[in-house]
Amino acid sequence: MLLAHASKKTFVTVERISETSLLENEKLAAAVLPAMYVSAVAEFKNAAWPTGLYAEYEVDDREVQDYAQAARTPEGFQAYLTGTRSAA
């Protein structure tokens, strides 16, 4: 939230847009960014993947492991991003 306070514009991605107030849920309220700090919102389903999202989906451990292996070298990282990794 500190970065949003310091920024001239803040763009937010969300799993889905909901009319429900997250402030009503004590566990979720801490993650709420006040609207006055938000310049724009984009809905992006599964945007947290391969990491998990509380109450939505778990971490994809296999994909995180594949990423960690590929990212050990610049070439492996590039291959991961472009989907051209070998099945070695």
CA distance 46 to 15: 6
pTM score of the predicted model: 0.66
CA Rg, the chain, in Å? 17
H-helix segments, the chain: 2-6, 26-29, 61-70, 74-82
21-75 confidence digits (pLDDT tens): 888 988 888 888 889 999 999 999 999 999 999 889 999 999 999 999 999 999 9
